Structure 1
Amino acid sequence: MAGFQGHRARKRFGQNFLQDPGMIRRIVRAIAPRGEDRLVEIGPGMGAITELLLEENRFLDVVELDRDLIPGLKVKFFNHSGFQVHEADALKFDFAGLRQGDEKLRVVGNLPYNISTPLIFHLLSFQGLIEDMHFMLQKEVVERLAASPGSGQWGRLSVMAQYYCQVEFLFEVPPECFNPRPKVDSAIVRLTPHTQRPFVAADEQLLADTVRLAFAQRRKTLRNNLKGVIAAEVLELLGIDPQRRPETLTLEEFVKLANHRLDTAWQPTQ
């Protein structure tokens, strides 16, 4: 491929390059660019999805960590005036700086498996600036994002993602669509930030802390995991059985616990 001669996927960057034309078209159809969208692609690689996005959309910013890929991307898309490359680590990137006005960002990416969860949490910190996000992730991560209470996949990532976004598991992407072939199955997920949240935490950091503590040891009960934070008697007063395990709690119940902690201005006992 012009500009990318001799480039090999790098394990330390978690690179698996999408190469199936039919699957690439299906992904772009799911994203549905609208011409003037402020699109942002994370980890464009050799530009397989990038190329089709630019056929449909005028503006595209890409964030790429592998500096060896950047010259090839600039050569391949030199005739697109709305195309901009940012050599950066997406985990530390200030996505707010990409806005030109009050328009919201539409974020897409084939996210490396080894950074997918922390990167999603980083992007959620910009959720007020984002219209939607379409990611290719390890299928297991997508299942966790889209999980329901009571399932084995329901956890910290599920609760926090669904607090901020509507989550849709769109479709699977088999290993043979990539070079090199990954050892895991992949899937496409759509995250759409809520315009109005179904449940509102008075302190979102306290919600995140409550969820983290509750899932600290999945096999233990709320009585044990929240010991010293919310007493068993208080859980009962809130209508939550202290013997329940964290994966049985709904998003609404987690918000209720966090709001109670704020209302009572809890301080740890010595």
Structure 2
Amino acid sequence: MKILVTGKEGQVARCLADRAADHPDLDLVFAARAGTDILLDLARSETIREAVRTVKPDVIINAAAYTNVDQAEDEPELAMQINGIAPGILAEEASGCGAKIIQVSTDYVFDGTLDRPYLPDDPVNPIGVYGRTKLAGEEAVRAATNDHVIVRTAWVYSPYGRNFLRTMLRVAETRDEITVVDDQYGNPTSAFEIADGLLAIADRWRNDGTAGLGQVYHLAGSDETSWCGFARAIFAESGKRGGPVTAVQAISTADYPTKASRPANSRLDCGKLERDFGFTAPKLQTSLSQVFDALSEFPSSQ
């Protein structure tokens, strides 16, 4: 089974590449905006169509996105092109070549006002440009083809790129104390877990090509915490390995204003994914350990 993966340099795509050896029956082909044999820039529609028609995949995993939540408030047109319009073009091309598509989406399609984890079929109500554009992408994929699965995730971290874990470790090298928001809650999710879940769906399709089609799933870490709690968990693991640590002081969202509003509750209920595909993410401690093992900054990863 040939799988076209967008966003080659992104966290999810890089973790998919790391996991590919565990799935020898899946042929993953990675596309990016530059520096690759397969050029695919979500901001340039013609490259999307050409890439899909060149690769002729059985499955497309759209792991690329405009992810700068605050900057999206200043660049709504670009964010909409990448997050909202491009997925629909990918889905159209998937339909044209008989491929299925997995669209990776986000907790930001919700407003965060529920007092429980969000189910996949809960009403959506994004509160910022990023969330609105990602929701538009979901709707565009849904309109273009029935052979799709939408997978929402949250609070993504990994050994790669820019993410909360790497930011915390960098800041801890120069500061004795940091302040972190303690009234926003979610499920920290390793990009390795996302890769494993996406590949579990693709593996299932080798034997049951209709499994989950047309459905929305949530794929997130098994543990709930605040950003402050996540920071403390990161430094606990770092300290065990002789890495940077610092004191973490809890603050409120009001104490840390940002250009874009964030959902106070980003917790996602992933029971549907477990029921339909048998996938459950590991506990936070296990996930953190896996990511630290892969961090080049730590001796254990050498």
Determine if the TM-score, normalized by the shorter chain, exceeds 0.5. Answer: no
**TM-score computed with the length of structure 1 as normaliser:** 0.37
Structure 2 length as normaliser, TM-score?
0.34
Larger CA Rg, structure 1 vs 2 = 1
